[in-house]
Structure 1
Amino acid sequence: MGQHPRYRRVTLAVLLLGLGVGWLSVHRFWMRTLLHLTGDAEWIWVTDSLNRVFPVAGLFVAPLELDEPPTHAVLKVCGDREYVVYLNGSAAACGWSRPGFRLDLYDVTHLLRQGSNVVAVEVRSPTPAGGVLLALDVGGRGENVLVSGPAFRLRRVFSLEGERPDDRPPPVRWGRPPRFPWAYPVAISRPRTLDQTVVEEPVRVEGAAARPLPGGGVVFPLPTRTFGYLWLEFEGDGACYLAVVDGADPEDLAALRQSAQPVVRLSGQTHWLDPEPRWVTHVFTFGRRLPRAVEVHPVVEEFRSAAPGVVLGKHGPVPRTRWTTRTPPE
């Protein structure tokens, strides 16, 4: 005989209650865990103008005074879609989101000093939607002594110096985790900062060695296939689109041009970092403002699997979600 409808309803209610209690327990566990990691850190962003689609970039800057050299310091950061963190002018960390959101943890003790320090995080997105979450532990001062929120100021012109008169409070403070769509980013320990990961001289190609392309743009051929971080060097502002190739020149240049990704940078920014290290043989650039040089900073094999910007999955590195919302390059 089948169950009485009343019993089925009671069974379903008990099951749903159990699932709800289980979800709440997991939610509270992760909230305690993440709050321990990031404290009062808030998701902040550069704009709340979401009525049209356009790429955005910003630089959040905060001062940090230390009475003595830190015994240890841990940087914790998640950026949607891309971030680059600079400590006292040095590129210390980089990463990206989608698919997935990760809270990257770095030991940055060697990059902080007694006295005045400047913490800056560059953020980028192909659309106006995004966010960055950051917290910093400093030995001798405590956990989360500097967190994303009111302590940071937004800068529209790229400069890694201290306070400037045109700095402004964050236009958007989404609030503390959990917030949609980031929920609770997965914490990942990064054993080395950017400066510790790159230990060899960069492979540099000057603009004079670049080859013009039919229909506009240039390609920078590297003298040897290299795995590392791509830096673009500019002189002046203007739109640029990028396609990185590992292998021979592609036969379908039109398709490559169409798939090129926007180089989203701030006014006055002369050096731009791709936060995902990769194999490179050719760097194709299109647009009104082309780089005057490119550099690939090599990553030695033993550092690659845990390098900043590398996300490992079950079957190797996880591919990024391509930036599809864009204006085709000139």
Structure 2
Amino acid sequence: MPAPLPSPASIRRLRAWLAAYLMIAVLAAAAHLRPVLQAQSLPTAAARWIWKPIDQLDHNPTAFYAVRDFRLGSPTARARLMITADEEYVVTLNGKRIGAGAFEPGAPLDVYEAGPLLLPGGNRLLVELRSGDGTGGLLASLVDEATGRQIVGTDDGWRILPAHQLGLVRGWMPIGAGEPAFAWGYPPIGRWGSPKVSAPRPLLGEEMGPPLPAAAMLPLSLPAGLTDGRPPGSPVLYDWGRTVEGYLTLEMPPAKDLGMALLFTGETPPDPLAARPTAAVLVMPGEPEWLDARPRRFRYALLVGLKRPAAAAVRPVPPGRVRPPRPIRDRVFGIQGPPLRTPVEDEVWSKLQRLPGAARGKDL
């Protein structure tokens, strides 16, 4: 006996369900493709904001490498690298440091002419990233200026490596041991906004002059009442004898753990209890040298919290390159709030307070 034919009402219901499923699929595809299509109109094209995989509750200071290998049949004559990172970065292409910088809301991307450093065959783009509270982001895009084609951009194909090794920077050590980067997504995202392009900056090696070592290094004791003597991490004051402008560099024996210190700079010897730190110093495990991400103007530099002895020098930059420091917003609706310390400040001072002989009642 033949099966009964479906009723017209059943056929209409089936068509309605199929139409609903098709509409849901179309809307889902549109929601997925919309940010991809929007990104194509941005200067960074398909690049996404990336970072190392972290726990949402992890706010510990961090420093690490984000690395990407790529191949070229023949290097392009002109290639533009657009990059920014929150909080700060130092970028290396095929073993050559080409730039450094720090994120500022609303500021354009840093742009470097990277074509002369590209090689036929294998290439390595490596970015040292630092964050005082553990969170942040990197956005970078390398573009062939002749065709507008993106050669490489930040995405989850990048690898994250937590410690410095010379072979990683020079390019002969494989990066397979690293973990995949976590992609936050396409811009604009949160406070990072839509990327804008600035005029090209000089490459770091062309901009910086020969190192100017500090004229004097004076080990200091910790503030009275904190502890006796000079335990590891005690302040060290560097004096150049005159005002200098440039990137501060520190050389030190490599260590297996992340190095953390507070940097104070000024035209007079800084008081670490009266002034806010100029910057946090985060030294990757295994790293023998730290380069500041910003050029600064100062005569004195005070370092607090670094357990390893450090030799200090300044790589000078042309006049006018140093920008004034950003103002610290410590008022809300005109009301002065309590002083807030960064996680790096908390870590450095708490370690010194935990030292034998430290006065427990002293709150720095």
| Bin of the TM-score, shorter chain as denominator length | 0.7 to 0.9
Letter in 1 for 2:191: P
Q: 1:249 to 1:286 in 2, by over 3 A?
A: same
CA distance in 2, matches of 1:32, 1:268: 40
**1:70–1:114 contact (8 Å) kept in structure 2:** no
Supply the distance in 2 between the matched residues of 1:77 and 1:63 (Cα, whole angstroms).
17
Of 301, 305, 311 in structure 2, the residue corresponding to residue 283 of structure 1 is 301
Q: Quick one: percent identity of the two aligned structures?
A: 29
> Corresponding residue for 1:137?
143
The residue type paired with residue 227 of structure 1 is E
Q: What is the match of residue 284 of structure 2?
A: 266
RMSD: 2.6
1:201 and 2:210 matched: yes
In structure 2, C-alpha distance between the alignment counterparts of 1:175 and 1:204, rounded to whole Å: 42
Alignment of 1:183 with 2:193, yes or no, is yes
SS at match of 2:206: helix
Partners of 2:200 and 2:193 lie apart in 1 by: 21
How far apart are residue 32 of structure 1 and its match?
5.7
Correspondence 1:247 to 2:267:
yes
* CA apart distance, 1:41: 0.6
Cα deviation, residue 318, structure 1:
5.5
SS in 2 for 1:219: strand
For residues 60 and 35 of structure 1, the distance between their equivalents in structure 2, rounded to whole angstroms, comes to 25
Alpha-carbon contact 2:50-2:156 (below 8 Å) kept: no
Structure 1 residues without counterparts, runs of 5 or longer: 1-27, 312-316
Q: How many residues align?
A: 284
Matched position secondary structure for 2:43:
helix
For the 8 Å contact 1:241–1:260, the answer to whether it is kept is: no
Residues 291, 107 of structure 1: alpha-carbon distance in 2 compared, 3 angstrom cutoff = farther
The secondary structure found in structure 2 opposite 1:37 is coil
In the TM superposition, what is the alpha-carbon distance from 1:289 to its structure 2 partner?
A: 2.1
CA–CA distance in 1 between the matches of 2:308 and 2:299?
18
Q: Structure 2 unaligned runs (5+)?
A: 1-33, 223-233, 330-340, 353-364
CA contact (8 A) 1:58 1:156 kept: yes
SS in 1 for 2:191: coil
What does the per-residue CA deviation read over 1:246-285, in whole Å, with 9 as the maximum and x for residues that have no partner?
Answer: 31223x34324x6364312321111111111111211211
Which stretches of structure 1, 4 residues or more, deviate above 4 A after TM superposition? 31-34, 139-142, 320-323
Task: State whether residues 243 and 283 of structure 1, in contact with CA within 8 Å, keep that contact through their aligned partners in structure 2.
Answer: yes
1:97 and 2:115 aligned: no
Kept in 2, the 8 Å contact 1:136–1:145? The answer is: yes
Contact 2:265–2:278, Cα closer than 8 Å, also in 1: no
1:221 is displaced (CA, Å) by 1.1
Aligned AA (1:166): A
